[in-house]
Amino acid sequence: MVYEAIDDTLIHYSYNKCNGNYNCVVMIHDIFASKESWFYLQQHFTKSNITNISIDIPGFGASPTLTTKYDYSYRSLAVIISLLLTKLAIGPCVVIGHGTGCIIAASLSTISANIKGIVMLSPNFDTPPSYLKVAPSCFVSSYVSRICKQYYQYNRLETLHEHQIIVKPFKHHFQNSYRRDVVERMIYAVESSYTDIIEMIFCPLFTIAPSKEKHAIHSNVLTTLADAGSTFKFVDHVGNFMHHEAPELIFTYICEFVKQLSKSDMSI
16, 42 contact by CB (below 8 A): yes
The pLDDT score that the predictor gives to residue 258 is 86
pLDDT at 17: 94
Res 227: pLDDT: 40
Q: How far apart are the first and last CA of the chain?
A: 34
User: In whole angstroms, what is the distance from residue 213 CA to residue 74 CA?
Assistant: 30
Sorted by where each starts, the structural domains of the chain and their CATH numbers stand as 2-267 (3.40.50.1820)
- Measured from the Cβ of residue 200, the count of other Cβ atoms closer than 10 Å reads 16
pLDDT (mean) for 135-163: 58
DSSP lists the bridge partners of residue 2 as 13
Residue (of 29, 87, 92) closest to 63 by Cα position: 29
Residues of the chain above pLDDT 90, percent: 16
Q: Which residue has the higher pLDDT, 97 or 204?
A: 97
| pLDDT tens digits along 169-192 | 666 666 666 677 777 777 776 555
Question: What per-residue confidence (pLDDT) applies to 15?
Answer: 93
CA pair distance 172, 34, nearest whole angstrom: 25
User: In the chain, pLDDT over 70 holds for what percent of residues?
Assistant: 52
pLDDT tens-place string over residues 105-142: 888 988 999 999 888 776 554 444 444 444 444 444 45
pLDDT top residue among 24 and 137: 24
pTM equals 0.77
Mean pLDDT taken over the chain:
69
pLDDT grade for 202, boundaries at 50, 70 and 90: low
Alpha helices in the chain (DSSP H): 39-47, 74-87, 100-109, 129-134, 142-154, 162-176, 180-183, 195-206, 242-245, 247-267
Q: How many of the other CB atoms lie within 10 Å of CB of 90?
A: 18
From CA 56, how far away is CA 36, in angstroms rounded? 9
CB distance 205 to 183 below 8 Å: yes
CA-CA distance, 234 to 38, in Å (whole number)? 21
- 131-155 average pLDDT score: 56
Judged by DSSP in three states, 94 sits in strand
What is the helix (H) or strand (E) element at residue 31, kind and residue range? none
Rounded mean pLDDT, 25-47: 82
